[in-house]
Amino acid sequence: MSGGVTSLAQTGAVRHDPRRGAILMLISCALFVVMGALVKALSERLPWPEIMFFRCVTGIPLILALSMRRGRPNLLTRRFRQHLGRACTGLMAMSCSFFALTVLPLAEQTALSYTTPVFVTILAIPFLGERPGPARWVAVGAGFCGIMIIALGQGAFLGGEARDALYLLGFIAAVSQGVFAAVTTMLVRSLSATEASATIVLWQSLLMSALTAIALPFVWVAPQPSDVLLLIGLGVFGGMGQWLLTEAWASAQVSAVAPFSYTALLWAALAGWLVWGEMPGLWTWVGAALIVVAGLAMLRVEMRGSRRTT
């Protein structure tokens, strides 16, 4: 779900069915959490760069099938360098996400993944020449407070044991995911001016598969038969989640659908508790709440701005 709710505020609604959009959003969030849980489970036996490769490759057939529903997929483009840049930033975001999943509790990693709107607001200044108003800066401040509360609640900056250092690396990776996802959002906004969505997604999948394949000779571990099923599940759950997410955005206005995306936090907390016995602490919930409030506040500001310009 990289890109954040802010990046989608300019998406036009194809239908007006808020109930359908809410249901699809709830299902897509659950599927993304299942995908994250599969990554976390597989990371106990396989290196995360190898898991990334399978995530990219196994999703291609599903993306092709869904793209063909609207006609023959078109890979013709005059903006290959921009597609490559978007694939590189997407790859960095996925790398940070997958590494963080190997270290952090599932709910905590999910909460930190919602920092993308915070960084989108900041990066929109140099990328798009935007000048955020006071309301957005307050929301940015709230988002960063949420990040720090989660980190300090786990003692991330107190130093000491090797486990603490590893947690700090995972925390930095999770926050960096938000940065790279925000850069990706900027690039997708630029590409969307001339490229069809199917073209962008197909180039992303193909290029990310090729880039992740480069690391395979250095990290390869032969998957067990049970691992193969889980790796296929990565592509299925991730691809279906992405498709349902797209359909959710197309079902109603973003302001009606976006709040339901934060149910992923509840799904992640439940999955972490049932599978790994991870129970989010008070400070994780407080920090996550601030991040959610910041994201929703920035969405509201952007929706107001879009209404003024229409």
Q: For the chain, what are the domain ranges?
A: 6-305
- What pLDDT score does 15 carry? 55
- What pLDDT score does 186 carry? 82
CA dist list (Å): 250 to 2, 104, 109, 271, 284:
17, 33, 27, 28, 32
- What pLDDT score does 62 carry? 78
CA angle (44, 46, 84) in 5-degree steps: 125
Query: Tens digits of per-residue pLDDT, 58-67?
Result: 888 877 877 7
Query: Tens digits of per-residue pLDDT, 227-280?
Result: 999 999 988 898 888 778 777 876 766 666 777 888 888 889 988 888 888 888
Query: Tens digits of per-residue pLDDT, 73-115?
Result: 667 778 889 999 999 998 999 999 999 999 888 988 998 888 8
Look at the pTM and tell me if it is higher than 0.85.
Answer: no
Is the Cβ–Cβ distance between 70 and 198 less than 8 Å?
Answer: yes
- What pLDDT score does 220 carry? 93
d(CA 139, CA 120): 12
Q: What share of the chain is helix, strand, coil (3-state, %, to 5)?
A: 80, 0, 20
- What pLDDT score does 71 carry? 63
Other Cβ atoms within 10 Å of 229 Cβ, number? 11
Instruction: Tell me the average pLDDT across 117-124.
Output: 83
Query: Tens digits of per-residue pLDDT, 277-302?
Result: 888 888 888 888 998 888 888 777 76
Tokens at residue 252, please? 């109603």
CA dist list (Å): 140 to 6, 42, 44, 82, 112:
12, 34, 35, 28, 14
Query: How sure is the predictor about 306, in pLDDT bands with cuts at 50, 70 and 90?
Result: low
For residue 155, pLDDT beyond 90 = no
Is the Cβ–Cβ distance between 213 and 122 less than 8 Å?
Answer: no
- What pLDDT score does 294 carry? 87
- For 230-263, give one letter per residue: b (16+ CB within 10 A) or e: bbebbbbbbbbbbbbbbbbbbbbbbbbbbbbbbb
